[in-house]
Structure 1
Amino acid sequence: MLGMIFESVFFSWLSIATLLTYFIYWYSTSTFNYWKEKGIPYLKPTPGFGNTRRMFFKTSFAEQFKIFYDKFDGERFCGVFQFRSPILVVRDPDIIKLVMVKDFPYFQDRRVSFNEKKEPLSAHLLNMRGNQWRRLRAKLTPTFTSGKMKMMFSLMNECAEELTTFLEVHASRNEDLEVKEVMAKFTTDIIGSCVFGLKCNSLKDPDSEFRSMGRKVVEPSLNNVVRRLLSLLVPILGIRVLPWEVTQFFISAVRETIKYREQHNIVRNDFMQQLIQLKNQEQVRDDEILDKGNLKKEFSTNGISLPTKNGENVAENIVFTDSRLASQAFIFFLAGFETSCTTLSFCLYELAVNPDIQTKLREEVDVTLQKFGGITYDAVHSMRYLSKVIDETLRKHPPAANITRVVTQPYTIPETSAELEKGIRVVIPVYAIHHDPRYYPEPDRFDPERFCEEAKSLRPHFTYLPFGEGPRNCIGMRFGLLQTKVGVSVLLSNYEFSVCEKTKQPLDLDPKSFITSAKGGIWLKISRRSSQK
């Protein structure tokens, strides 16, 4: 009798397990005919992972999408799957132009979803969608004009002087340094000064709170990677990505800074001042906000107009709470220090590996600083070879390896009958395009002359995308380039960089990092200049 009961229970559970397994298999593969039905060339996916199995701690995002890109040589676009989600990978510069500029209203949102109640610092410009994004972009754009950058230059220069002081002891001993950590401290100090108006002292104080918080956010730990992946893949779970102490720190820092400035009538030419103005300004007409600059023209193309009221363009109002103000400061802090320190460290690596280029750039720096009497805003902007070196660094090592957009309304790909439904993701593989030998012969070779005017004129547009393009390009591009140029200029005017035993050639990309980053860091030897020894 007991045997019959056991057998009955066993087969019942076996049936349930079989049904559950079948359901999971069906659900994970139910979308796999999507690209086939559209007539779009695609990679055959595997159940459970789609085409992205190697992205789990084996292959970086940059290299994985380059694999997709290379497999479809000659095609304008191709289809892949991340788990069960279809992704259109765009290869053709003309299609990229449609996505980023000409047909922008169909692709105006990023993929990221956010839960402001669960993650207060997530309501920032990068995550905003539709009308709220337009309105916020219009309000923040004045912060990043060339005039504002010039006003912030003295703050950057002060941090650069502290950097040279910090490195002097190491250079006098010809020491090996992990340069990305040093550059992260340098850019953290710049962002702290230019955004929060605070002295972070990351270079002097190894326990600096701002640097500590930066590490907690970007360090490629298993916990961080898993939380980010789950938040992207299963947003319904409402998983908090940021450690709660990071959220509390930034909200408190912004609240206290604003309170102090208002109580003491302090006005500074920095990002925080712009946030204070947003907080205190009176309600203005929505159409006046959107009419500033070229925003109405940018956001009303191809017959798709903005929401209107009495015939005028309007946008959804944004309430600037303390957490929303903090979220803008947070994303500027995060993007500003991490991408710039990555670019600086890759640039120093390439200069160390290519000493002839380092010598040529140093000669330009010396001549320019002598002409202008030191590192000034005009001096930095007059260095043409420096611009080429930075451009080539961003070409070979773009911090944002891929740009993602989401279809916001049904879109038919030109010259095809394939219609993309709302919600489909479109990925522009920046790293892969930057390493395409059709546009950049010998793409693994570091050659700043790729960015001379003649060479640039021979390349198709939309094949160089370190900051994106179109209305949703990187709002902090000017700031990022300026602090990078200041950093390189002050370093080469004082020191020499060379490879050491710990220098890895070629560099391996970190598969756990969400931006392009070298696995194990970047180790170089720093020395005083020959004339100073």
Structure 2
Amino acid sequence: MGLLFETSPVEWLTMAIILFTSVWYYFKSEYSFWKKKGVRFISPVIPFGNIKDMILLRKATGEMLKVLYDEFPEEPFVGTYELTKPMLIIRDPELIKRVTVKDFSYFQDRGVPVNEELEPLGSHLLNLTGKKWRTLRSKLTPTFTSGKIKMMFHLMIECAEQLKDYLEKPAQNGEILEMKEAVAKYSTNVIGLCAFGLQFNAINESDSEFRRIGRRVFETSVIAAELRMLQSAYPSAMKIFPMKIVPDEVNKHVIRTVKEVMEYREKNNVSRNDFMQLLIELKNKGRVHDDEPVKSEDKLDRTSHKETETNVEFTDNLLASQAFIFFVAGFETSSTALSFCLYELALNPEVQERLRDEIDSTLEKYEGKITYDAIQSMSYLDKVVAETLRKYPPLPSLFRAVTKPYVIPGTSVRLHVGMKVMIPVCGLHYDPQYFPEPEIFNPENFSDDSRARRPHNAYLPFGDGPRNCIGMRFGLLQAKLGLCVLLSNFKFSVCDKTQLPIKLDPKIMVMASESGIWLRINKRDM
């Protein structure tokens, strides 16, 4: 201790200079990765790399990605740094197609770190890797075929009618409502009936347990958001900062609910055409081998299989994890898309009226009934939903991790195993070469002519290839049905509480409004 006090100011200054110089050389070395490879890169900021605005919660993920995407508009790919970790941003639709489809075997994983002991609900399809993911994906795919989803349509109708009844009184009074919460109640009920076979009563009961659970999943603090980014860049940090992404309350509730539903159905010999029934069948089969052929009506879902087999034991936690991600992804993405769509329809009343006219004329052909076939026949509805997902993609970026050393075609750039590749969905969706005047809500971006002129991989609200969103058809149908029922009965307009322009929440990785979607609702003039 005496030596510490005897240190002279010059010695303190010398040690400080040595420490500063060491840190400076460390970061200079780390940030030389892309320069050595001859890849154009966005200048990093010590110690944040290229995600300073996201780390400091100044910008939402989607907004930050647009800035990075626009930095080098002529480059097919650009080097960036996630803190000190090199990450490649891919801008070229053809290269994106290679990563997601053609050369998928080199990019099979998402690069999301998971501690299964710490996070019992973390072993879901979104996070799983390698053969275990491939096996489980092939087993869960049958639930999401068009035929199976059509069989669930009557359950969705039931939930949509409940939403209509819930909104009748405020519409008669011309009240102002936060629409994200209103449609989230609808989405929660849909998932309850179609996935769990349970009535969650999220619309009629303000204290619905599963609606509360849904809110808890997406509640986050500034510290939690920062730690999540740290864990993403440095998976080993999970050992130092073992923070749970999903609260204990949610873990316990979902696992208990799934277990109770399974036990009840098996004990009472109850069988339904839903997601839970598939999980029960998988559990009863015990271990499933990965040497079985993959069957899917979607050719992009056919993954290449090797002769080696992988045992997958369907434990209670693994099954509950699949139900959990179905619940979270199902209600959040659909309710987000629905609320953002209502926001744009309120801002663009001419689009709202044109869509309402299509709904009216179509329902006349179907004797006033909203049917599965009626919804599938509405072309303008499809354009409106597609345009909503362009402006507000559920996930503003897609990640893939390099699983085998890969040389980018036509270059000498070699990507090593474990490196992250990021596809900037928001950047692509707001690129004027693909979507003229991208800030304007224009459903005609999805006319046949516009689609034909645009590269397929410039529009990726659900990803592409074998790791695309397995519930895409389900989510789209749920959102379209909600719009049909809402516009058939109500009109939506902006009010004093409507945020113009909308501000995105920087604490949440999915696309979300920071202060909600506030609109005025009125009964429709019949």
TM-score scaled by length of structure 1 = 0.93
* Counterpart check, 1:350 vs 2:354: no
CA-to-aligned-CA distance 1:247-267 (integer Å, 9 cap, x gap):
001100100010011111111
The CA distance in 2 between the partners of 1:347 and 1:294, in whole Å, is: 27
- State how 1:109-124 maps to structure 2 within 5 Å: 109-124=109-124
Partner amino acid for 1:216? R
| Superposed displacement of residue 14, structure 1 | 7.6
* Cα distance change on mapping 1:108 and 1:51 into 2, 3 Å: same
After superposition, the Cα gap between the structure-2 partners of 1:20 and 1:216, relative to the gap in structure 1 and judged at 3 Å, is farther
- 1:371 match: 365
User: Mean alpha-carbon deviation: is it higher for 231-240 or for 17-26?
Assistant: 17-26
Matches within 5 A, 1:66-77: 66-77=66-77
**Amino acid of the structure 2 residue aligned with 1:68:** L
Alpha-carbon distance, 1:19 to partner: 5.9
Residue type of the partner of 1:188? T
Q: 1:13 to 1:86 in 2, by over 3 A?
A: same
Aligned to 2:200: 200
Partner of 1:235: 238
Rounded Cα–Cα distance in structure 1 between residues aligned with 2:186 and 2:275:
18
Equivalent of 2:356 in 355, 362, 365: 362
How many angstroms apart in 1 are the aligned matches of 2:299 and 2:443?
Answer: 34
Residue 401 of structure 1 deviates from its aligned partner by 0.4
Does the aligned pair in 2 maintain the 1:90–1:426 contact within 8 Å? yes
Structure 1 residue aligned with 2:334: 340
Aligned to 1:179: 179
Q: CA shift at 1:516, angstroms?
A: 1.1
Tell whether the 8 Å contact from 1:28 to 1:47 is kept in structure 2 after alignment.
Answer: yes
Distance 1:458 1:295 in 2: 23
Matches of 2:109 and 2:467 in 1, distance apart? 9
Aligned-CA RMSD value: 2.1
CA 1:193–1:18 in 2, change beyond 3 Å: closer, same or farther?
A: farther
1:287 aligns with 2:288: no
1:325 counterpart (319, 324, 329): 319
Partners of 2:472 and 2:298 in 1: CA distance:
18
Give matches, 1:48-197, under 5 Å. Answer: 48-55=47-54, 56-197=56-197
- Provide the rounded CA distance (Å) in 1 between the counterparts of 2:177 and 2:193: 25
Take 2:209 and 2:300, find their aligned partners in 1: how far apart are those partners?
A: 41
Show the counterpart of 1:499.
494
Q: Distance in 1 between the 2:507 and 2:166 partners?
A: 30
**How far does residue 74 in structure 1 lie from its aligned partner after superposition?**
0.9
CA contact (8 A) 2:384 2:443 kept: yes
Between the two proteins, what is the percent identity of the paired residues? Answer: 51
User: What is the deviation of 1:284?
Assistant: 5.5
Match of 1:310 in 2: none
Report if the CA contact (8 A) 1:76-1:90 is conserved: yes
* Distance (whole Å) between structure 2 residues aligned to residue 508 and residue 72 of structure 1: 26
| Map 1:447-466 → 2, pairs under 5 A | 447-466=442-461
What is the distance in 2 between the residues matched to 1:257 and 1:327?
A: 14
Kept after mapping to 2: 8 A contact 1:353/1:498: yes
Instruction: Report the alpha carbon displacement of residue 219 of structure 1 after superposing the two structures with TM.
Output: 2.4
1:414 to 409, 418, 428: 409
1:273 and 2:295 correspond:
no
How far apart, in 2, do the equivalents of 1:440 and 1:45 lie? 29
Query: Alignment partner of 1:201: what SS?
Result: coil
Take 2:313 and 2:286, find their aligned partners in 1: how far apart are those partners? 12
Q: What secondary structure does 1:89 align onto?
A: strand
How big is the shift at 1:228? 2.3
Say whether 1:248 aligns with 2:243.
no
Q: Secondary structure at the match of 2:457?
A: coil
Q: 2:175·2:521 contact (CA, 8 Å) conserved in 1? A: yes
In 2, distance between residues paired with 1:296 and 1:342?
A: 26
Do 2:138 and 2:295's aligned partners in 1 also have CA atoms closer than 8 Å? no
Give CA-to-partner distance per residue, 1:456-515, whole Å, 9 cap, x none: 111112111000111111000000001000100000000000111111222121111211
Which residue pairs with 1:426 in the alignment?
A: 421
Distance 1:296 1:440, change over 3 A: closer
Shift of 1:63: 1.1
SS at match of 2:70: helix
Matches of 1:179 and 1:258, distance apart in 2: 34
Q: Which residue of 1 aligns with 2:38?
A: 39
Measure the CA separation in 2 of the matches of 1:293 and 1:482: 17
1:301-343 deviations in whole A, cap 9, x for unaligned? xxxxx54xxxxx2332111111110000001111111111110
Gaps of 5+ in 1: 301-305, 308-312
Find the counterpart in structure 2 of residue 259 from structure 1: 263
Q: Secondary structure at the match of 1:51?
A: coil
How many angstroms apart in 1 are the aligned matches of 2:14 and 2:276? 61
CA distance in 1, matches of 2:38, 2:184: 46
Question: What amino acid is the match of 1:244?
Answer: D
- Paired position in structure 2 for 1:225: 225
